């Protein structure tokens, strides 16, 4: 009787490949890696499983970050600093490769060999390499067989889809984190913009910017520079050492965007300033721009929490700095607008004062013709003229010009007019009255205020004109016979210093047809587009041609000549003339 047949055993490979019993551990492995979306867990499980199957004590798993660039995400049996290293693998891997057979000239081959790696296996998902697995030498020095390769490929093929899915989820999480950060940054910028916009004071804006840098970024060292006449001047800083000269910082005006000092140091045009910034502990530079023009810069030291400034950090800081410089510029424009309005208000007052000083009408003097004009410039000066009857046959003629513009000049001329009208009827001589006016002016004003002044006393009966010229443009006396005289006898300018030498008095007798033309420097110094003065020589030549005309016609001729000469150029000073003609 024959013995019963024995059941056949399935033949299995020592490593567990080839028999039906191998499907159970592979199935369990697949369930484990596919049950998680944690990339580090999946890669760690894959690495430990393969190392356990192959009896290997050293191994790494790398993930593809960019074309040809892989990052070590997990390593066993190797130095801790191996994790996080980036490896540039130049040639694409599509199958298992032996490090012993790879060409040693490439840096990535040396990287694996130096760490005792013998086998390099691509992790492929949907025909794309998504990562690499490397294994060290097996225990006992056994070589990797074809069946070992098959098992490794099987494990990696089972995990490839899970790895790819985990990578996609990680990328989505990174995108979400980035979006959350951007959202928070936008909210922060929005809140800060509201703070900045309600502040119209540059110092307060800078203080807010400083608090924002300390709170949002957390810096220990910083400096804020603003443009001042083409140079960057430090307006706020917390540095242990002083920055270099402003001429050196001026190089930062060429910046196009925020950057690290380390990167600037590699550029020739920023080399010198980058070295100086590094010397004082600055690691990042953020330009403050308006319409592509650098109006300032924020210089930042290392973060208190450590770590480098990322691209996202620099973008946020760039937006923050630009918000601040817009507010600073608005504060400057507001301050200028206030100052402009103040000056305009002052000019209105000065113009009212000046017009109040001028006579509303000129007196009629038998035997004489009189005409006068005062044309105010946009910047009201201190021009003044007057004709004051003293007695039936005596009249005072005066013309003056105060140094300076605006209300102070107008007020000073008002004082002179008051002194003139007070002293003239008192019967004083012109030199004595001039001395008193000068001394009072010196006593009541500073050395930067002075007045050029000419005045004369006309006796209409004798036609004698006595005068004192206190540093004023000498009037022209156009004689009927064609000769010209200048009335220049007198003394020093009023208000410059107290009278030391007595003022001198000049005297002329007027004949029929004689003309006296009194004027301020707004006439002779009127400038054309080439910044050339009209000059007294041109005025004299013009007066020769109109000497026989009535006073009003003479004034109109001079006005027309000035308008033609200064065409296209704004009037820079008041134009004042007083013309007397003997009949």
CA distance 321 to 324: 5
Query: In the prediction, which pLDDT does 181 show?
Result: 66
In which band, very low, low, confident or very high, does the pLDDT at 23 lie, cut at 50, 70 and 90?
Answer: very low
Q: What spatial distance separates the first Cα and last Cα of the chain, rounded to whole Å?
A: 174
Evaluated on CA atoms 466, 472, 474, 476, the torsion sign reads: negative
CATH number for region 199-333: 3.30.450.40
User: CATH 3.60.40.10 residue ranges in the chain?
Assistant: 358-582
Q: What is the pTM of this model?
A: 0.52
Q: Mean pLDDT for the chain?
A: 83
358-582, which class in CATH?
Answer: alpha beta
CA distance 370 to 363: 8
Residue 79 pLDDT > 80: yes
Q: Mean of the pLDDT values across residues 146-162? A: 85
Compute the residue count for the chain: 583
Q: Mean of the pLDDT values across residues 325-343? A: 82
The answer to whether the CB of 470 falls within 8 A of the CB of 487 is no
Q: Which tokens go with 107?
A: 């840096």
Measure the CA angle with vertex 167, ends 163 and 173; round to 5°: 145
Going by C-alpha positions, the residue among 348, 413, 409 that lies closest to residue 386 is 413
What is the pairing mode between strands 368-375 and 575-582?
antiparallel
Query: In the prediction, which pLDDT does 20 show?
Result: 39
Going by C-alpha positions, the residue among 401, 407, 398 that lies closest to residue 351 is 407
User: CATH 3.30.450.40 residue ranges in the chain?
Assistant: 20-171, 199-333
CB neighbour burial string for 308-323, b if at least 16 within 10 angstroms, e if fewer? ebeeebbebbbbbbbb
Query: In the prediction, which pLDDT does 442 show?
Result: 85
Residue 15 pLDDT > 60: no
Q: Which CATH architecture has domain 20-171?
A: 2-Layer Sandwich (3.30)
């Amino acid at each position: 009787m024959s013995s019963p047949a024995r059941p056949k055993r399935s033949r299995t490979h020592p490593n567990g490949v080839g028999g039906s019993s191998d499907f159970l551990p592979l199935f369990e492995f697949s369930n484990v890696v596919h049950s998680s979306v944690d990339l580090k867990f999946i890669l760690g499980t894959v690495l430990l499983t393969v190392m356990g199957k192959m009896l290997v004590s050293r191994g790494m798993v790398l993930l593809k970050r960019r074309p040809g660039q892989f990052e070590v995400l997990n390593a066993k049996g190797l130095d801790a600093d191996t994790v996080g290293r980036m490896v540039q693998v130049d040639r694409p891997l599509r199958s298992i490769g032996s490090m012993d057979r790879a060409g040693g000239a490439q840096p990535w081959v040396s990287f694996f060999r130096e760490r005792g790696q013998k086998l390099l296996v691509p992790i492929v998902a949907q025909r794309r390499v998504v990562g690499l697995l490397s294994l060290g030498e097996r225990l006992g020095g056994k070589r990797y067989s074809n069946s070992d390769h098959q098992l490794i490929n099987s494990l990696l093929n089972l995990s490839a889809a899970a790895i790819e899915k985990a990578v996609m989820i990680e990328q989505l999480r990174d995108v979400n984190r980035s979006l959350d950060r951007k959202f928070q940054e936008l909210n922060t910028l929005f809140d800060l913009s509201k703070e900045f916009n309600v502040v119209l004071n540059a110092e307060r804006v800078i203080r807010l910017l400083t608090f924002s840098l300390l709170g949002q970024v957390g810096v220990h060292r910083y400096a804020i520079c603003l443009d001042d006449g083409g140079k960057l001047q430090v307006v706020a800083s917390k540095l242990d050492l002083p920055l270099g000269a402003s001429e050196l910082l001026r190089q930062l005006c060429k910046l196009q965007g925020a950057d690290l000092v380390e990167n600037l140091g590699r550029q020739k045009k920023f080399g010198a300033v980058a070295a100086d910034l590094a010397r004082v502990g600055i690691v990042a530079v953020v330009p403050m721009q308006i319409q592509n023009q650098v109006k300032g810069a924020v210089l930042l030291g290392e973060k208190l929490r450590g770590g480098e400034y990322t691209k996202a950090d620099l973008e946020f800081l760039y937006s923050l700095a630009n918000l601040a410089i817009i507010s600073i510029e608005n504060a400057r424009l507001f301050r200028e607008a206030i100052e402009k309005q103040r000056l305009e208000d002052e000019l209105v007052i000065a113009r009212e004062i000046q017009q109040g000083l001028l006579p509303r009408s000129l007196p009629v003097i038998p035997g004489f013709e009189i005409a006068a004009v005062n044309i105010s410039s946009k910047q009201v000066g201190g021009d003044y003229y007057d004709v004051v009857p003293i007695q039936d046959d005596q009249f005072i003629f005066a013309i003056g010009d105060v140094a300076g513009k605006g209300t102070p000049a107008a007020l000073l001329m008002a004082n002179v007019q008051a002194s003139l009208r007070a002293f003239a009827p008192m019967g004083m001589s012109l030199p004595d009255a001039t001395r008193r006016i000068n001394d009072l002016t010196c006593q009541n004003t500073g050395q930067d205020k002075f007045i050029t002044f000419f005045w004369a006393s006309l006796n209409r009966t004798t036609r004698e004109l006595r005068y004192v010229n206190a540093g004023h443009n000498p009037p022209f006396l156009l004689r009927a016979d064609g000769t010209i005289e200048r009335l220049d006898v007198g003394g020093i300018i009023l208000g410059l210093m107290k009278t030391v030498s007595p003022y001198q008095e000049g005297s002329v007798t007027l004949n029929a047809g004689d003309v006296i033309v009194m004027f301020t420097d707004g006439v002779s110094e009127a400038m054309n587009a080439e910044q050339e003065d009209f000059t007294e020589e041109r005025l004299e030549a013009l007066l020769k041609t109109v000497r026989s005309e009535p006073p009003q016609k003479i004034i109109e001729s001079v006005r027309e000549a000035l308008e033609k000469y200064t065409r296209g150029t704004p009037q820079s000073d008041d134009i004042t003339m007083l013309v007397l003609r003997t009949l």
